[in-house]
Amino acid sequence: MKSVAALLLVGMLILWTDLPTGTRCSTWACPPVRITCAMLNPPNQCYFDWQCPRSRKCCPTFCGRKCISNPSFPPI
């Protein structure tokens, strides 16, 4: 009986580690930046995801950080 309870506990712990955190982060990641800005200190519109509207995420872009929407196209 103890081995069944221990096995169940280990299974629950494994599932618990895969759960998303309680933050407002979504499952998509920021797209990679391939081009960099020539400006020395580009302006940033945001620094954290919570500064963006609900469906957007604060990501580095080619010239500063901006709130962007989920890219609907698959990455190349």
Q: How many domains does the chain have?
A: 1
- Give whole-number Cα distances, 49 to 4, 6, 55, 63, in Å: 42, 38, 10, 17
What is the per-residue pLDDT across 34-65, written as a single tens digit (0 to 9) for each? 998 898 899 999 999 999 998 899 999 999 99
Give the range of the structural domain holding residue 21, as residue numbers without chain letter: 1-68
CATH number at residue 54: 4.10.75.10
- Give pTM, 2 decimals: 0.56
Residue 49 inside a domain? The answer is yes
User: Greater confidence, 2 or 13?
Assistant: 2
Residue 12 inside a domain? The answer is yes
Contact 66, 45 (CB under 8 A): yes
- Give whole-number Cα distances, 60 to 29, 30, 54, 75, in Å: 11, 8, 18, 16
| C-alpha 51: how far from chain center | 14
Quick one: average pLDDT of 24-34?
Answer: 77
Residue 75 inside a domain? The answer is no
